[in-house]
């Protein structure tokens, strides 16, 4: 059996999405910047996709900008806000995705900002009172806090953060890549300046994402070139990807309640069965349903002798999982998220992340393999 439990890294493409993309590839090849009929037809596809996403998020189409993915969208929001608004202070958490952390750290290195990190509790939850105290002495700050941590699954109350930021006239950006397509985002009810999405996290294509920019914010382009994306991002649009991401988000919202209940049941089942099968297992981050991303379960095993070989052994057994963010899987320095919550580094840790395609039989197979691996050492 081959089991894929690394959906937080990327999800399989939905067949309905593939169908839309293939039809677009076959029939709509014109350059959307061309004024002739072939170009106008393709431009219509892009604008229809923009409207679809905007309607789902309760935003205006003029507030949605297509990018190459979540990393570009995060970078665009961070760099352009700090430079265009003359911001000299930023706040984030030490367990953000590197698309956020590395960007802010580089801006601090070059002297453009002073960067503060929010305090965390032992599970990795941000301290909201610390955020407020930092903003009280540093108004007009850039704040970037992700909606759900991609390794632990912790959910952050971004509505609460948005209200705190609004009180102190701060700019609030949230990396919502892990929750987009899995939770409802109603931007008409949220005082937020920027959010991001990436198609491959909700059964859409890789290489395409989007940035929501609140209409009250006016920033310059991050990538210069042509007049694409209403002069906000140069470069010929990834039309097939844009058609695909819109269809994927449409499907995600259509089936969200059903899939959420199903996947949450799988996660709860795996947690319970792991506790039965492996004594002294630990769960990292929040695991309560209301405070945790239902697609992610991060565990630490008691079998310390296999720490360096766990993922390799799982792979040999036909199980795909992750020790942290896939974007840094080639690194041997370990997870900055687990270091950030001071997890026991002697224990091998693994992130299992689920999708609508997983089954209980697969979960049983994984638990049996984990138990056998622990018993071998």
Residues with active-site annotation: 327
CB atoms within 10 A of CB 226: 13
Residues 6+ positions from 109 with CB-CB distance below 8 Å: none
The whole-angstrom separation of Cα 120 and Cα 253 is: 32
């Amino acid at each position: 059996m081959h089991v894929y439990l690394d959906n937080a890294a990327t999800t399989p493409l939905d067949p309905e999405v593939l169908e839309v993309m293939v039809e677009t590839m076959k029939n709509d090849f014109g350059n959307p910047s061309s004024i002739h009929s072939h170009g106008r037809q393709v431009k219509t596809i892009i604008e229809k996709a923009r409207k679809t996403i905007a309607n789902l998020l309760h935003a205006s189409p003029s507030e949605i900008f297509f990018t190459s993915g979540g990393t570009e969208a995060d970078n665009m929001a961070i760099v352009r806000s700090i430079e265009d608004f003359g911001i000299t202070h930023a706040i984030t958490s030490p367990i953000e995705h590197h698309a956020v952390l590395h960007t802010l750290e580089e801006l601090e290195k070059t002297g453009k900002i002073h960067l503060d990190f929010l305090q965390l509790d032992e599970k990795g939850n941000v301290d909201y009172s610390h955020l407020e105290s930092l903003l009280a002495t540093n108004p007009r700050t850039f704040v970037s806090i992700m909606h759900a941590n991609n390794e632990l699954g912790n959910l952050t109350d971004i509505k609460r953060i948005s209200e705190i930021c609004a009180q102190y006239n701060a700019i609030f950006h949230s990396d919502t890549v892990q929750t987009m397509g899995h939770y409802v985002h109603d931007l008409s009810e949220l005082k937020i300046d920027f959010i991001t999405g990436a198609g491959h996290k909700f059964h859409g294509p890789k290489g395409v994402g989007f940035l929501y920019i609140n209409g009250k914010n006016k920033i310059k382009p991050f990538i210069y070139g042509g007049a694409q994306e209403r002069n906000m991002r140069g470069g010929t649009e990834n039309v097939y990807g844009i058609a695909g991401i819109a269809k994927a988000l449409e499907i995600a919202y259509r089936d969200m309640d059903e899939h959420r209940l199903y996947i949450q049941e799988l996660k709860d089942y795996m947690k319970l069965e792991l506790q039965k099968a492996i004594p002294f297992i630990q769960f990292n981050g929040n695991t309560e349903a209301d405070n945790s991303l239902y697609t992610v379960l991060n565990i630490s095993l008691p079998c310390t002798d296999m720490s360096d070989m766990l993922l390799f052994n799982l792979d040999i057994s036909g199980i795909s999982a992750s020790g942290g963010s896939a974007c840094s899987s080639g690194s041997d320095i370990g997870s900055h998220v687990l270091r950030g919550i001071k997890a026991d580094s002697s224990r091998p840790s693994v992130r299992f992340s689920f999708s609508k395609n997983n089954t209980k039989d697969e979960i049983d197979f994984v638990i049996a393999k984990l138990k056998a691996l622990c018993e071998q050492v």
